[in-house]
Amino acid sequence: MGEIGTDLLRIGQIKFTNALPICHFIDRSSPHHTFLPGAPSELNAWLADGTIDAGLVSSFAYAQLADDFVALRGLSVSSRGPVGSIFLFSKRPLEELSGSTVSLTSHSASSVNLLRILLGEIGVQDVNYVTEEPHLHEMLKSADAALLIADHALRESVLDHGLYMYDLGEEWHNRTGHSMTFAVCAVPKRLVKEHPDKARAIQKLFLEGKRKGTADMESVIEAAIEMMGQTKDFWRDYFGKLIHDLDDELAVGANAYFDAAYRHGLLAKPVKLELWGDES
Ligand SMILES: C=C(O[C@@H]1C=C(C(=O)O)C=C[C@H]1O)C(=O)O
């Protein structure tokens, strides 16, 4: 973490379309904040090494850093059922992946660990996990299945590969009945304690961006089309699946995920989501 009393706070922002409903309208004119866009895995590493002070990161990365960070109330990337952009593309049905090689996108922390949990719960054993750049064709040259997230997953999801496709938000919901929170907005406990006004200012920037995005979804969709093409209906359907809120109810799903991650040996200790700030 940098010198937190200083005037400039560095804030991480997900560079993919899933965060556009929050990030498209963020006011970047503030002299006290600078925004650094990255893939989730980059943002996670930046939060851990102090390159950024706060921002959107994988919920799993938050869980690893939960001693030092809180999650801002009202902000997340979540789904209650299908998420539409987190897919396992597989040559075999999920239940038949024991002894297989599964290639994991290098961009994710939450989804790759969710996949480990889901396969573990189904009783799939002896999987050889490899982490690779998110290129489906390359990944499947040597793997039996490949996990992609975000824009890479969206792009492949509209093509016919003749592969089995599993939406991890849907698999998690079918299995547990819970929502799943993939990303949260993490802020250092030190900032909250020593400069609550600054933590509140970060939350307000994101919440105000989300409020504008919700009120003007057409502009958010235009921005998504500019990034990736597809039709307005495609984006309406996709953004309709995503939830960008974070409240006590969604925290139940996030905590169920953290519990499962701990049970499966993926987190070193039990973690509870610590929400901070007001939602408005
Ligand atoms: C919905 C998504 O959620 C994302 C998934 C993440 C992860 O797997 O670590 C992190 C941030 C989110 O942007 C997605 O990428 O499609």
Q: In sequence order, what are the residues at sequence separation of 6 or more whose Cβ sits closer than 8 angstroms to the Cβ of residue 72?
A: 184, 185, 186, 187, 199, 202, 203, 206, 246, 275, 276, 277
pLDDT of res. 4:
58
pLDDT of res. 258:
99
Mean pLDDT per 10-residue interval, the chain, length 280 residues: 70 98 96 96 98 98 98 98 98 98 98 98 98 98 98 97 97 98 98 97 98 98 98 98 98 98 98 94
pLDDT of res. 153:
98
Q: How far apart are CA 79 and CA 244, in angstroms?
A: 8
Q: How far is the CA of 238 from the centre of ligand 1 (A)?
A: 13
Written as one string, the DSSP assignment of 206-223 is: HHHHHHHHHHTHHHHHHH
| 3-class SS of residue 177 | coil
Q: In sequence order, what are the residues at sequence separation of 6 or more whose Cβ sits closer than 8 angstroms to the Cβ of residue 94?
A: 88, 118, 119, 122, 124, 164, 166, 171
Which H or E element spans position 174?
helix 168-176
pLDDT of res. 280:
75
pLDDT of res. 1:
44
CB within 6 Å of ligand 1 — which residues? 14, 16, 18, 40, 58, 77, 83, 85-86, 108-111, 149-150, 153, 182-183
Reading the block at residue 194, the tokens are 């020593």
pLDDT of res. 7:
83
Residues linked to residue 13 through DSSP beta bridges, in sequence order: 37
Q: How far apart are CA 155 and CA 136, in angstroms?
A: 10
pLDDT of res. 279:
86
* Alpha carbon distances (Å) from 218 to 21, 116, 225, 239: 10, 37, 10, 11
Ligand 1 binding pocket mutation candidate from 13, 15, 17, 18 (most atoms within 8 A of CB): 18
Q: How far apart are CA 269 and CA 258, in angstroms?
A: 9
Q: What is the number of the ligand 1 atom nearest to the C-alpha of 154?
A: 16
